[in-house]
Structure 1
Amino acid sequence: MARAQGARAQMALAFETTYGTPPASGFTRMPFASATLGAEQPLLNSELLGYGRDPLAPIKDALTADGNVVVPIDAEAFGFWLKAAFGQPITTGTAAPYSHEFRSGSWVLPSMSIETGMPEVPRFAMYSGCMIDTLSWQMQRSGLLTATASLVAQGEAIATTSAAGTLAEIDLQRFGHFNGAITRNGQPLGNIVSAEITYANTLDRIETIRSDGRIDGADPGMAALTGRIEVRFADQLLVNQAINGEPCDMTFAYVLTSGESLTLVAHAVYLPRPRIEISGPQGVQASFDWQAAKDPVTGRMCTVTLVNERETY
């Protein structure tokens, strides 16, 4: 009897036309490092008395389907997650390379159907009505570059065969940490040890009364772009900005030598005044838990641009 192994697992993704209804075709094989996406339904203990000390049978509570998917930040597949987080991109270019511009604050976010499969069991779980609550990643000097997508789904359907059909394949071109750079107001920002970026849609689950215990949907709330930068303390540039309460634009970018690139521009970043601690003989570092706001000039909080060989998402 075959046992489930993560090395054999696979994931397929397709955008839905109708929320909660998996499409019959159009699924793409997605690279991923790990996934906690799943459905759970807790049991409620019986509160009834008069039947002795042994409890009566429990009853089922509402169904919850959610979880995280860790994915590589690459030149093509990452665009699917950006579309889910920001909405339909504005694509320009009549021939490759194409530029896909994702903008924050969209009122309409697409839903996805995601199937995770373990063929050796066999077990194929189709999660419908998936929407991205948060998308986050870290920038650092070394290591594998991945992002974490936190998902809210409507439900789970288990089968012994795949419902995704023939999967479209993508060419995987990963960005690395050494491809990354951070700029402030157009100038390289030095002495950065690490950085964190988190975009949140603040999804509000529509928990209506249904016979199947599922949610009716998830509405986006106030968007948020937050993060942290760890800085090797060398000058007063960022501290002065924090004290003065002035915004700046920050750009987090990755560029491959072949021309593909990923750029996130936070148009109005505000920094808190940090505590500068001298904890020992080593270098002094400062942490800034920054947050972005809507820029009155661009009319939005952030813009993400993905340049690659793919024509549409």
Structure 2
Amino acid sequence: MARAQGARAQMALAFETTYGTPPLGGYTRMPFASTSLGSEQPLQASELLGYGRDPLAPLKDAVTADGDVSVPIDAAAFGFWLKAAFGAPVTTGVGPYTHEFRSGNWVLPSFAIETGMPEVPRYAMYAGCMVDALSWQMARSGLLTASASIVAQGETIGTSSSAGTLAALDLVRFGHFNGAITRNAVPIGNIVSADINYANNLDRIETIRADGKIDGADPSIAALTGSVAVRFADQTLVNQAINGEACELEFSYNLSTGESLSLTAHAVYLPRPRIEIAGPQGVQATFDWQAATDAVAGRMCTVTLVNDVEAY
């Protein structure tokens, strides 16, 4: 009897034309490190009295389908997650192509994901998927991955794949070594680590249905937040926080082969941090920043991806 192993698992993704209806084809094989995406249905314990001390059988509660997917930040496949989080990009160029994803879209695309474990076999199709949040961390070393939080409409289990023949993309990963952070187009020194989190704050439409699924997930007010841990060397960021001023922060990755990825937060506000002296080591300060819409750019942030993919 075969036992499922993560090493043989696979994931396929395709964008939907109609919410909750998985496409019949056009799926792309997606690289991923782990996933908790799944459907669960808890049980409600019986509250009835008069049948002795032993309880009656429990009742099924509502079905919830959601979870997180850990994905590599690469030059090709990551564009699918950016499209799901921000909407379709504005693409220019004739190769390499420049894809510009902009925050503030009222309508976000839904997609279908199939996760497969061929040993069992078990193929789970998740329809009506939408990205609730996309986050990652910048550091000095380690593997560079992002976490995509997904809200799905429901799950369908099969013994064979419904995705058909999968399109494959070249995996060209960015690494922490390729990262850089600038403030108002000037490189920032003494940055130890940085966190970036973009949230669509999806509002689940939990209507009464016979199948227990949700009717949809509408994007609410978006949020772009994060933190930067800085070795305390000057007063630049502290003065900005005290004065309540905004700055532009850009988090970017560049490869020698020409591929690049950058997230530009056009108007970032910093809180006034506590400066602690914890011992003889260097002094660090952490700024939990928040981004807001910028009057000049007309939006909160822009993500630019340069690669050889013609369209998403």
| Range class of TM-score, shorter chain | over 0.9
One-letter amino acid of the structure 2 residue matched with residue 227 of structure 1: G
Offset at residue 49 of structure 1 (A): 1.3
Question: Residue 153 of structure 1 corresponds to which residue in structure 2?
Answer: 152
One-letter amino acid of the structure 2 residue matched with residue 39 of structure 1: S
Question: Residue 212 of structure 1 corresponds to which residue in structure 2?
Answer: 211
Question: Residue 201 of structure 1 corresponds to which residue in structure 2?
Answer: 200
Gaps of 5+ in 1: none
Offset at residue 142 of structure 1 (A): 0.3
Q: How does 1:250-265 map to 2 (within 5 A)?
A: 250-265=249-264
Question: Residue 246 of structure 1 corresponds to which residue in structure 2?
Answer: 245
Secondary structure of the equivalent of 1:199?
strand
State the alpha-carbon separation in 2 of the partners of residues 292 and 52 from structure 1.
58
Question: Residue 176 of structure 1 corresponds to which residue in structure 2?
Answer: 175
Q: How does 1:68-147 map to 2 (within 5 A)?
A: 68-93=68-93, 95-147=94-146
Q: Deviations over 1:260-298 (max 9, x none)?
A: 000100000000000000000000000000000000011
Q: Deviations over 1:168-191 (max 9, x none)?
A: 000000000000000000100110
Q: Deviations over 1:124-182 (max 9, x none)?
A: 00001110000000000000000000000000000000000000000000000000000
Question: Residue 26 of structure 1 corresponds to which residue in structure 2?
Answer: 26
Q: Deviations over 1:46-95 (max 9, x none)?
A: 111111111111110000000000000000000000000000100001x2
State the alpha-carbon separation in 2 of the partners of residues 118 and 187 from structure 1.
47
State the alpha-carbon separation in 2 of the partners of residues 171 and 310 from structure 1.
10
What RMSD in Å do the two structures reach over aligned CA positions? 0.4
One-letter amino acid of the structure 1 residue matched with residue 154 of structure 2: G
Confirm or deny that 1:226 pairs with 2:221.
no
State the alpha-carbon separation in 2 of the partners of residues 158 and 151 from structure 1.
18
Offset at residue 11 of structure 1 (A): 0.3
Secondary structure of the equivalent of 2:74?
coil
One-letter amino acid of the structure 2 residue matched with residue 284 of structure 1: V
- TM-score scaled by structure 2? 1.00
State the alpha-carbon separation in 1 of the partners of residues 267 and 163 from structure 2.
41
One-letter amino acid of the structure 2 residue matched with residue 240 of structure 1: N
Offset at residue 228 of structure 1 (A): 0.3
One-letter amino acid of the structure 2 residue matched with residue 175 of structure 1: F
State the alpha-carbon separation in 1 of the partners of residues 187 and 80 from structure 2.
29
State the alpha-carbon separation in 1 of the partners of residues 13 and 112 from structure 2.
6
Confirm or deny that 1:41 pairs with 2:34.
no
Secondary structure of the equivalent of 1:290?
strand
Secondary structure of the equivalent of 1:210?
coil
Offset at residue 106 of structure 1 (A): 0.4
Offset at residue 307 of structure 1 (A): 0.3
Q: Deviations over 1:6-37 (max 9, x none)?
A: 10000000000000100000000000000000
Confirm or deny that 1:8 pairs with 2:20.
no
Q: Percent identity?
A: 79
Gaps of 5+ in 2: none
State the alpha-carbon separation in 1 of the partners of residues 50 and 187 from structure 2.
73
State the alpha-carbon separation in 2 of the partners of residues 34 and 220 from structure 1.
25
44-53 vs 111-120, which moves further = 44-53
